Amino acid sequence: MPAPGANLRIDGERLWDSLMTMARIGPGVRGGNNRQTLTDDDRQGRRLFQDWAEAAGMTVRVDAMGNMFARAEGTEPDLAPVFVGSHLDTQPTGGRFDGVLGVLAALEIIRTLRDLNVRTRRPIEVVNWTNEEGTRFAPAMVGSGVFAGVHTLDWAYERTDADGLRLGDELARIGFRGEDAATPRRPHACFELHIEQGPILEREEIDIGIVTHGQGLRWLEVTLTGQESHTGSTPMDMRRNAGLGMAQVIAVVDTIARRHAPHAVGSVGHAVVFPNSRNIVPGRAVFTVDVRSPDLAVLTAMEASVRGEAAAIAEALGLGLEIAEVGAFDPVTFDPGCVASLRAAAQRLGYSHRDIVSGAGHDACWINRVAPTAMVMCPCVDGLSHNEDEDIRPDWARAGADVLLHAVLETAEIVG
C-alpha cells in the first residue's frame, strides 16, 4: 500500500510559468536578471511573491529584516512549522533561477497541496530571505544570518552600499521592514532547493543532488595604500603603486587556492582603484578576496596565507595594508535526518541522484544552526551561474520540486 501522497507531483508547467513571470522583473541586459536586494525591482518581485502566496491561501508575515514568511496553516497550528524557501534577490548580472527556483518551487508545493486539498499536521512556511547575494550589501546571507542569531539586527541595518545607503533605510524605503523581531522562531525543519551552480550533475547526467555539506567561506576586504603620482613623469623606482600591489595579491590568491586543490577555490571579484584615472598611479586599491573550502583547516590555512603574502607584497612595494573580514561562515554539515528524507524521496520518485557538497553559500547554511536543515539541487546548463546565461531545463526544475515536495510532506506529516 503506497504511503499517503506517494503519487503527488507538482505542476511543472505552472512552476515554469511563475519562474518566467518573475524573471521579467529586474531584467538584465542579456536575458538574465539584475534584481538586487532592496531595490525597486526587489520590491516589485517581493510584492508579486506576496500576491501569489495570498492567492494560494497563505498569510504573509515580514520580519524586521524583511524576511518574508508565507504560511500555509497546518491542522495543528501550534506545532513548529517546516520552512522551505530561498531568495528572490539576484546578482547584478545574475540568472533567472539562482534562489528564485527555491522560493517558487516552495510556493508550487503549497499550490499543489491546495489544489488536491492535502493537509499537513505542521504549518509550512515558504520563505524569501533578504539579501542572500551580499553584492549590494556585504556580507552574503544577511537576512538568514540575523534570523539564525549570527548577526544582530542593528549590525545588519548599518551595512551600506557603494553609495553609502544603509540597509535599514533601504528596507524601510521599499516598505518591507517588518515589525516582528528577526529572532529565530525555531522551525521544526528547513529545506531549500537550489540550482547546483556548478558542472557536476549535468556532466554526470544526474537529476538530483543531495547536499550533505556546504563549503566554508572567508571574504577579506583588502585596502592597499600607496601614493598617487603622474604616470608619465614619476620614475619607476619612486612609485608606490597600489594597483600593482592589488594585481600581485590577486595572482597570489589564485596560487594559494591551487596549492590546496582539488576542493579549495579562491578569487577576487570586487576591485576598485582610486582615483581610477588613466594617468595617475593608483594611490589606493580596495578589493575583496573570496576563499572557500569544505575543510575548515584548509580554509584557515588559506586565510593565513593570504594575510601573510599580502603583507609581504605591501612591504616590498612600500604600501600600507589593512585587511577586514567582511564575510565568513565555516563549512556546514547538513542534518542527516533531513538529508535522508530528501534522498529517500529522490529514490521513491525514481530520479537519479548523488550526494554533493555545495560550492556556493546558501541561506540554509545559516538556518542549519537553529533547525535541522538540508538542501536539494538540480543541474544547471554548463554549470554556469552568477551569469546572465544561467539556464536550467524545465524537467530539472520539476524533478527538484517533486523531491522537495515529498521531503516536506514527510516532515510536515501529511494528514491522510
Q: Before 81, cis peptide (omega within 30)?
A: no
Sole residue written with cell 516598505: 175
- 365 makes contact, choosing from ligand HGY, Mn ion, none, with CB < 5 to 8 Å by partner type, with none
Smallest distance from ligand HGY to CB 88, Å: 13
Residue found by looking up cell 529514490 in the block = 347
Q: How far is CA 202 from CA 351, 389, 393, in A?
A: 14, 15, 11
- 303 near Mn ion, judged by CB under 5 A: no
41 binds, among Mn ion, ligand HGY, none (CB under 5 to 8 A by kind): none
CA dist 255 and 265 (Å) reads 10
Quick one: 216 or 282, whose CB is closer to ligand HGY? 216
Cell, residue 26: 529586474
With CB under 5 to 8 Å by kind, the binding choice for 134 among ligand HGY, Mn ion, none is: ligand HGY
The binding track of 74-103 with respect to Mn ion, each residue x by CB under 5 A or -, is: ------------------------xx----
Report how far Cα 226 is from the mean position of its chain's Cα atoms. 35
Set of cell numbers at residue 347:
529514490
Instruction: Supply φ then ψ for residue 211, to 5 degrees.
Output: -85, 110
Interface map 372-401 toward Mn ion (x if CB under 5 A): ------------------------------
Using left for φ > 0, alpha for ψ between -120 and 50, and beta otherwise, residue 353 falls in beta
Cα(134)–Cα(138) distance, rounded to whole angstroms? 4
Rank residues 193 and 319 by Cβ distance to ligand HGY and give the closer one. Answer: 193
Nearer to ligand HGY, 246 or 365 (CB): 365
| b/e per residue 36-61 (b: at least 16 CB within 10 A) | bbbbebbbbbbebbbebbeebebebe
Nearer to ligand HGY, 140 or 404 (CB): 140
CB of 75 to Mn ion, least distance (A): 33
State the Cα–Cα distance between residues 264 and 298, nearest whole angstrom: 8
Q: Which is nearer to Mn ion, 140 or 249 (CB)?
A: 140
Nearer to ligand HGY, 133 or 410 (CB): 133
> In terms of CB distance, is 99 or 198 closer to Mn ion?
99
**Residue 361 binding target from Mn ion, ligand HGY, none, CB below 5 to 8 Å by type:** ligand HGY
In one-letter notation, the amino acid at residue 140 is A
> Quick one: what does residue 140 bind among Mn ion, ligand HGY, none, with the CB cut-off 5 to 8 Å set by partner type?
ligand HGY
Where is 112: in which H helix or E strand? helix 100-115
CA distance 400 to 211: 12
CB of 135 to ligand HGY, least distance (A): 8
Interface residues with ligand HGY (CB under 6 A) are 132-134, 140, 360-361
Provide, rounded to whole angstroms, the least separation between the CB of residue 364 and ligand HGY.
11
Q: Which residues bind Mn ion (CB under 5 A)?
A: 98-99
